[in-house]
Amino acid sequence: MDNLNNNNDFDVIIIGAGVAGFTAAIYASRERHRTLILERGKTGGLASTTHWMENYPGFPSGISGRDLTDLFRAQAEKFGAEIREFIDVKSLEKLSNGKISVHTTEEELNAPVVIIATGSLPRRLGIPGEMEFYGRGVSYCATCDGAFFRDLDVAIVGCGNSGLQEGQVLLELCKTVTFIEYFESIPGERILFERIDKAENSRFLPNHKVLRIEGEQFLERVIAENRATNKEIEIPVAGVFIYAGYKPNSDFVKDFVTLDERGYIITDDAMQTSIEGVFAAGDVRKKLIQQVTVATSDGTIAAIHAGKYLRNS
């Protein structure tokens, strides 16, 4: 284990400052490992963009995603973890001495252990108009951009938990919210659906496929197809918020660790990847359930096994 006062050498380097990364940092720094967290943007990850969480244990009245991740950060820093924001990691390399070299756009950092906790990004629909109107009506974050559409008509594409949770934000701001779902039934939690269905300014269009997004300078309408009748309908809206699943942030290690066919990092039960000393945690890892509580579990397991690896190396 390295404890030299070298700005580029650490015991544990964690890539990603979301829930999994912060949890791993809390455990690693409490073991007095010199711990560094690298984050390409602002800390918090996708969880920080969630308006309100009601299913995270310990907060019976709920808590905002930003407040929760701020608490995670404060706890990690309390135990000595160092955080560097706006650092883009380009690749990893296994050195002859067994350490992992982390190549960023600015420098190289080294550690015997690296924990990849880079999470995922919203997946695009890949339809005409989506990229053309990004920032001019198309958004992937209602918490971030909902206020721009106050008293206007908007649509949500995708009625999983993310779409329904963020849709609640829009219902309080917007004139109407149309929820468009590809499948015949709503896949999100029943309690969320029931809450939204009661709102006078909501409507659901299950079994509909979004074909294209249209407008002039700004988005004006969404064209969708009823999958049962093949009939196209026009939905006049000023904004559309897309929740069509997520893509793992793993491109920078696609030639380093083993990924599955969708780009998720494959690990064992100890969160160990195909490269010794490299662990993965959170939504970037292949698993059945992607939830904040599961990400904390991943971060815990990764940090504990990372500690065992350090002691034995």
Q: What is the pTM of this model?
A: 0.81
Share in percent of the chain as helix, strand, coil (round to 5): 25, 30, 45
Residues of the chain with pLDDT under 50: 1-5
Say if residues 188 and 273 touch (Cβ distance below 8 Å).
Answer: no
Domains within the chain, CATH numbers bracketed:
12-122+246-312 (3.50.50.60), 138-242 (3.50.50.60)
Confidence (pLDDT) at 6? 65
- For the annotated catalytic residues, the residue numbers are 141, 144-145
Cα angle 212, 172, 237 (rounded to 5 degrees) comes to: 20
Q: What is the model's pLDDT at position 151?
A: 97
Q: How far apart are CA 39 and CA 198, in angstroms?
A: 40
Question: CA-CA distance, 116 to 281, in Å (whole number)?
Answer: 6
* pLDDT for the residue 3: 42
What number of residues does the chain have? 313
Here the tokens at position 69 are 């991740």
Give CA–CA dist 204/181, Å, rounded.
8
